[in-house]
Structure 1
Amino acid sequence: MYLDHLVILANDLEAGVAHAEASLGLRPQPGGRHVRFGTHNALLSIGEGLYLEVLAPEPEAQHPGKPRWLGLEGFDGPPRLANWVCATDDLDEALDDAPFAGEPVNLQRGDLRWRIAIPADGRLPMGGAFPTLIQWETQPCGTCLPDRGCRLRSVAIQAPLAREALVAMGGELPDGRVTLTGADAFRISAEIDTPDGPRHLA
């Protein structure tokens, strides 16, 4: 398991993109639609195959009739960094060890194909302490984005179930830049080097 991308959630994609741009000084590029979940996104490389995703409901799309993914169902408030996603080479095996992470869903957008674990209620595994799991069946999305000069420096995650999540990960975090500590509520923030210097994203 290794860090794949970070997710900003927003109720409106343009507002989410503006939040990313205000934080980092760079505007994420248009991504695409996820018809199955009624969402669309924008993307920004943050180096070494990693990327930042801005995710929001698509106004023209009907509600999918089931909870939206990646914690978007019931999301409120201003746009914010709200999720972390880790890739695995074998999603089924990973879910055998962490069944609470969800059920595998097959998705495709253009030439990209991937499988992702989604809990039935659309919420984040362990309240966000445990990452969303993804398996790329094509070249990972992060390797297809232009290099804009951003490099992830660190990710700080605070969550009530931090200790339990660390146990579920075998006692080791998937990336040395990630810290996970206990807290009374879930929070995630990142430090990212940009062409204009280090920036904070939350």
Structure 2
Amino acid sequence: MLHLDHLAVSCENLNDGRDWVEERLARSLQPGGKHTKLGTHNMLLGLEEGVYFELIAIDPDAPDPGQRRWFDLDDFSGAPRLTNWICQTNDIDAALAKAPIGMGVPMELTRGDLRWMMVAGEDGHLPFDAAFPAVISWGSSPHPSTRLPSSGLKLRQLTVRHPDAETLRANLGPILDDPRIKFEQGSTSLEAVFDGPDGEKVIS
């Protein structure tokens, strides 16, 4: 089975992306780190119920990784936006066996004492125009959410829109059971609604 792990906003520049996110969530993002294998860097925000939020961009100081980056970052342009959702599993091979063609192969990644396996699409492109989630397995590594102070924000609903939402739902139905996740027909996009002590916050 899959369980929601985190949400990712992509941006062209991490500093500009931070301002964009912090204005909408009224929370300060925490320093993240660098993904040396893929030439990206990020910032993070802890959410309730073991979920976290990631802001990610190409690291301008990193060398060319020699492969396409995850989350379609090589093709990303424009304003920051919610581009991806990531689900965790204890058995990444079993999850991939039930996933659609185009998921790619597991990649082993490290940062400090964090060790994880991730599948983020062939050449950085996830199925269903990236409306299908990336899949991650933390194994015995500590989960990032345990190290982040809680922002007090709790995900109420993640809406996943796609022109073929019914097929997307059918593909995920056997391996994902989460009432917070809603599928709608429409142009491909994601929208996350959070509840907090200071009211509703929306990121899309």
TM-score w.r.t. the length of structure 1 is 0.94
Alignment pair present for 1:142 and 2:150 = no
Which has the larger strand fraction? 1
- Between the aligned partners of 1:88 and 1:22, the Cα distance in structure 2 is 32
Task: Please give the secondary structure, in 2, of the residue aligned with 1:147.
Answer: coil
- Cα pair distance change 1:51/1:196, threshold 3 Å: same
Listed as ranges, the matches of 1:1-202 within 5 Å are 1-98=2-99, 99-137=101-139, 138-170=141-173, 173-183=176-186, 185-202=187-204
Deviations 1:138-169 (CA, angstroms, capped at 9, x unpaired): 12212221112111111111012322222222
Deviations 1:32-83 (CA, angstroms, capped at 9, x unpaired): 0000110000000121110110000111112212111022120111001111
Task: Please give the secondary structure, in 1, of the residue aligned with 2:179.
Answer: coil
State the identity %: 40
- Is contact 1:127-1:161 (8 Å) kept? no
The one-letter amino acid paired with 1:62 is P
- Give the superposed CA RMSD: 1.4
- Is contact 2:85-2:134 (8 Å) kept? yes
- Between the aligned partners of 2:94 and 2:108, the Cα distance in structure 1 is 16
In the TM superposition, residue 179 of structure 1 has moved relative to its aligned partner by 0.3
Gaps of 5+ in 2: none
Task: Please give the secondary structure, in 2, of the residue aligned with 1:142.
Answer: helix
Count of aligned residue pairs for this structure pair: 201
Structure 1 moving runs of 4+ over 4 Å: none
